[in-house]
Amino acid sequence: MKSPIPYAQPSITELEVRYVTDAVLMKGTQCYAYIGRFEEAFKKYLGTQYAVATSSCTGALHMGLLALGIKPDDEVIMGDTGWIATASAITYVRATPVFVDVLPDSWCLDPRAVERAITSKTKAIMAVHVYGNLCDLEALFAIGKKHGIPVIEDSAEALGSIYRGKRAGSMGAFGTFSFHGSKTISTGEGGMLVTNDADLYRTVLTLNNHGRSPDQKKQFWPTMIGLKYKMSAVQAAIGCAQMERVEEIVARKREILAIYKQKLSRFPEISLNPEPEGMVNGAWMSTVVFSKESGVTREHLQEAFREENIDARVFFWPLSSLPMFEPKPENVVAWDIPNRAINLPCYYDMTTEEMGRVVSVLERCLRSARGGN
């Protein structure tokens, strides 16, 4: 059997190991030093005023929604393409995720569909930057301003992406990021909430400390029912090392996407993550979408990659197709694209030979669908 190719894995060096060892040996409250250091490095990179490290991006979304005042029976509009964590966080505050269709080129929220979905119950727009691709933020912010609705940036997959000179996650009411093991930078598990809203930031700090305000003088005196989504010092230590390398890691992810695009450019039936003028795609997950006319299907792709011992992953199922939600097949693009798309391996240490193996599988799938050998 050929050697396996994983779809993702973190890039860990001696720097990460050194910082983790240091964090493990710290005593008492010294352990919080790496958490503060990670938050400072991250907000400097993003260009935001505030950052709160969390145990997951899901937790960051949950607290951000609470701090924004999203309540039971409120509606939050989001694209029908994405991971369930975003929708789950909306349900945690007993609000309703309203799934609308996505754009065929970016696979992100369609502003026209957002406008049509707004009701008196709509209290936020959730802009999920899918696979590093960027939402049409100019249009979404205009809609938000028109209706007095905040726009949230779920940037779990968009570290390194830039929208007209500003980093993804830095422009909405708040932004969130994931440091899961598959993400561009990783702390194993973990997340970050960023914002420029001082009141929202202080509310999140209070929520994340079991309801104890940072201004409270009374010891162990919470003023609200809170949560605990705190990041550990060991995770933060890894994060600090990753942030020192973030530019090179993002550059490598972008390089891998560029290589795939170059090698597959002779096939008009194949499209990959877009990068419109004025944008920079952080290229978290290199993704191919075959044209309908190609005849290539998800199942065909999965079988071909499995035979070659390559761990390619499926494109996100439409959220409204999942059993816990009401089906919305009228979201035509979100329901169609997953049938003819797949995520390609694209981790930092991937070799040229491994990329060549991936491309060869795609070529064979296309030839087979065309009726060739």
Handedness of CA 122, 124, 77, 138 (dihedral sign): positive
**In sequence order, what E strands does the chain have?**
50-54, 75-79, 96-100, 122-128, 151-154, 162-163, 166-167, 175-178, 191-195, 270-272, 279-280, 287-290, 313-314, 341-343
Question: What are the strands of the beta sheet with 162-163, ordered from one edge?
Answer: 166-167, 162-163, 279-280
Share of the chain above pLDDT 70, in %: 99
pLDDT tier at 157 (50, 70, 90 boundaries)?
A: very high
- Domains of the chain (ranges; CATH) run 14-244 (3.40.640.10), 246-370 (3.90.1150.10)
- CB of 346 within 8 A of CB of 285? yes
pLDDT digits (tens, 9 = 90+) for 114-126: 999 999 999 999 9
pLDDT averaged over the chain? 96
d(C-alpha 3, C-alpha 202), whole Å? 50
Is-above-0.85 flag for pTM?
yes
pLDDT digits (tens, 9 = 90+) for 259-308: 999 999 999 999 999 999 999 999 999 999 999 999 999 999 999 999 99
**pLDDT, average across residues 37-54:** 98
Q: Distance between the two ends of the chain, CA-based, in angstroms?
A: 22
Task: State residue 372's pLDDT score.
Answer: 61
pLDDT tier at 343 (50, 70, 90 boundaries)?
A: very high
**pLDDT, average across residues 310-333:** 98
Q: Give me the helices (H) in 47-103, please.
A: 57-67, 84-92
- CB of 53 within 8 A of CB of 204? no
**pLDDT, average across residues 356-369:** 95
Task: State residue 212's pLDDT score.
Answer: 95
For the chain, the residue count is 373
